[in-house]
Amino acid sequence: MRNRWTLFALASVLVSTPAHAQVRVATGDLQAMHLSLGDAIKMASGQAAPVQLSGLATDEARARVRQSRAALLPGLTAGGTWVNRDYDLDALGLPFPKPKPGQPSLISLPTIAGPYTAYDARFTLTETLLDLSSIKRVRASEAQVQSTIAAGDATTEGAAQVAALAYLRAARAQASVAARQADSAIAAEVLSLAQAQLQAGVSGTLDVTRAKTQVAVAAGALVVARNQYDQARIALARALSVDPVKTVITLDDTLSTSLGAASVPADQEDAVNQALHSRPELRAEEARGSAAQVSKSAIQSEVLPRVGFEADYGQSGLTLGSSRSTRQFAVTVSIPLLDGFRRGAQAAEQDAVIQESQVRQHDLRQQIAADVVGALLDLHSAEAQEGIASQQLSLAADELSQAEKRFKAGVAGNIEVIDAQSSMVKARDAVIDARYGAAAARVALARAAGAARTLH
């Protein structure tokens, strides 16, 4: 009877959380989502918050291109004025003769004329005919767009890596739940065997107590594993920018030996070459350096003549009824002569920016090579650890089988079985950690080679 109660309590622990989730899904509170690793990568690459922000930054850069191009496009303005004004004739240099002191004034001459009313309505057109500096500034802003796009690609690669690692952590937590369930099943089986041995008189109550303790320990570990799995799925939902409260994510991929593969060459030299051609961080820095060079050229071009065209047409007169059409056409040429050494200082600033970009490009190339080499070393080490963990699990399974046979035969107590169970738990955890480490190393290698979006 006690054995049945123990098994019932264990079964309740195993099924309580999934049953609650199923009820909430059935009532419409939650939305079920089945995801493979490839699906998670696609979602993160398209809708993660950092990716959306980088897309908006690209839109801002494109808008700045249109702003800089406005200096080369026609401008049209419309305006009108109404003026009612008095004029001081003396101030205008039109003084009337005044009598000398002591002489009588026969006529009183005014010094203020008016008021006069004037109307004017006019359209004004301006167009730049030649301005090399503005042309180069447009090119510099276009180079900044390319830099922003490359930076956005780097953000997307980072978002794919974050989502992949979150998926791997959830897969590891799921594997831990399965391992704890297997531990609970073994503990329940040993408890049944101990109670059968006690009834047969070949074992004592101490063996039953030990077996019950193992059942309780396994149940507690399962609760912890389930909580970690739920927490990992919440973190995965955040990495994918989906609602973690209303979405229940189910993983379609398990923590297998092939999880996290990507389109990366196995050869170190080929992987480094791919990374140097694919890493968006390097392309973004190269674009920034190119933009700085074009900006310097634009600054130096400011000393060249600027040619413009102006035209206006309108109606003007003292009254609306008497207004007449007037127009003006003009071609203007302007040549800056002195600007307080502003252009020289700006050109020197761009020189420093260019040199900084060159230093960063050189450092980035070295860092990219180091990332690839380090990721390959981690991957080789993780794969070796995975093989060792598999051997450890096989040996632990043999140890547990032999201990159970000895306990059934009555030649040993269940302390050997408990020790073998502990070894089995450690071996299962070692396999899970080794597979997770290998998968994480493959993700790191894909990110180092600029191929995180090809993970599957």
User: Does 16 or 88 have the greater pLDDT score?
Assistant: 88
CATH number of this structure's domain 29-77+119-454: 1.20.1600.10
Assign 400 a pLDDT band (cuts: 50, 70, 90): confident
* pLDDT for 66: 93
Residue 409: which H helix or E strand, with range?
Answer: helix 342-409
Q: What is the mean pLDDT of the chain?
A: 86
Residue 413, pLDDT > 90, answer no
Nearest to 327 by CA among 311, 348, 306: 311
Whether the per-residue pLDDT at 7 is higher than 60: the answer is no
CA atoms within 13 A on the CB side of 27: 7
Rounded to an integer, what distance in angstroms lies between the CA atom of residue 236 and that of residue 254?
15
Domain ranges in the chain are 29-77+119-454
* Under 8 Å between Cβ of 158 and 50: yes
- Under 8 Å between Cβ of 282 and 368: yes
Q: C-alpha dihedral over 247, 253, 256, 260, to 10 degrees?
A: -90
Share of the chain above pLDDT 70, in %: 90
pLDDT tens profile 421-440: 888 899 999 999 999 999 99
Tens digits of residue pLDDT in 253-274: 999 888 999 999 989 999 999 9
Please check whether residue 397 is in contact with residue 179, taking contact to mean a CB–CB distance below 8 angstroms: no
Answer whether 180's CB lies under 8 Å from 218's CB: yes
